[in-house]
Amino acid sequence: MLLVTGRSGKLGSALRVVFPNAVFPSRNDLDLLRRETVEAFVKIHRPTIVLHAAAYTNVRMAEEKHQLCWETNVRGTEFLIETLLQQNPHCYFVYVSTACVFYGDRGFYAEDDIPRPKNFYGFTKLVGEYVARRIPSHLIIRTNFVPRAPWPYPKAFVNRFGTYLYADDVARAIKDVLAKRLTGVVHIAGDQKLSMFELARMTTPAVEPMSVQEITLPLTVDMTLTSNRISRYRLTKG
C-alpha cells in the first residue's frame, strides 16, 4: 500500500491524479506534528511505500518561524521514520526534497554535489534528507516546481533560475522513478534553464520583472539541477 503525505499541497494535488489508489490522509487523520497520530495511522494502514511530500515550503516565513518549519520538516519526518523503523523497517521511503539544499552560486547541481543551504528552509530539508536515510530502502528526490496556474504575484525574478517543472510533470516523473525502485538520491529536473520571470510569463504574460537584489531574503539564486542517474524531463507547456 502506498501512503502519500501532503495531499493539500501543490505537489500533493498532482500526485492524487497520478496515484489514484494510494492513501492520502488529511491532517486530521495523520498529523505529522503529533507522534501518536503517526503511530496509530501507520499501525492501521501498514504502508509498504511511503511518499513523503508534506513540508513547510514558505521560504520567507521559514526565516521568521524557525520552530514551525523545523517541527514540520524535521520532527514530522522523524516521527514517520521512527514509526516505520518500529513497525515496518523494510518499507520503501521516498522523501521529496528541494534544490534549495544547494547554495545556488553556480547551478546545474548533480546528485553527488555537496549541499550547502543558503536559508533555513533549505537547511531543514537537508536535515530531513539525513533523517530519511535511516530507512534502509530510501529514495531522496530533489526537484523544483510550480503549480500549473496563474503566477500568484505581480512580479517575478529575472535573475533567479531553475530547471523548473510543473507539479503535474514532477508527479509523473515520481511515478517513473518509483516504478524503477531507485534508491539513494535522484534529481528530477526540467530540460531547460529558465528565470522565474520566463516561467511566470508562460501562464501570466502581464507579470512584471524584478531582481533578487530588491529584497533581503536569502534566496537560492541558481536552483538548476542535473542528474547523473536519469534523463531530464520536458517542461510541458500545454
Q: What does the pLDDT profile of the chain (238 residues) look like in tens digits?
A: 999 999 999 999 999 999 999 999 999 999 999 999 999 999 999 999 999 999 999 999 999 999 999 999 999 999 999 999 999 999 999 999 999 999 999 999 999 999 999 999 999 999 999 999 999 999 999 999 999 999 999 999 999 999 999 999 999 999 999 999 999 999 999 999 999 999 999 999 999 999 999 999 999 999 999 999 999 999 998 6
* pLDDT in the model for residue 46: 96
Going by C-beta distance under 8 Å and a sequence separation of 6 or more, which residues neighbour residue 125? Answer: 55, 73, 97, 98, 100, 101, 117
Q: Is residue 223 part of a domain?
A: no
Residue 238 to residues 57, 80, 148, 235: CA-CA distances in angstroms? Answer: 26, 37, 10, 9
Q: Is residue 121 part of a domain?
A: yes
Cβ distance 76 to 31 under 8 Å? Answer: no
* pLDDT in the model for residue 100: 98
Q: Is residue 180 part of a domain?
A: yes
**What CATH number is attached to the domain comprising 121?**
3.40.50.720
Count CB-CB contacts under 10 A for residue 28: 7
How many structural domains does the chain have? Answer: 1
Q: Is residue 96 part of a domain?
A: yes
Q: Is residue 173 part of a domain?
A: yes
Q: Is residue 9 part of a domain?
A: yes
Q: Is residue 19 part of a domain?
A: yes
Q: Is residue 200 part of a domain?
A: no
Q: How far is CA 111 from the centre of its chain?
A: 15
* pLDDT in the model for residue 238: 64
Domain extent for 169: 2-151+162-192
* pLDDT in the model for residue 137: 98
Question: Can you give the C-alpha Rg of the chain in angstroms?
Answer: 17
Cβ distance 76 to 39 under 8 Å? Answer: no
* pLDDT in the model for residue 147: 95
Distance between CA atoms of residues 220 and 8, nearest Å: 25
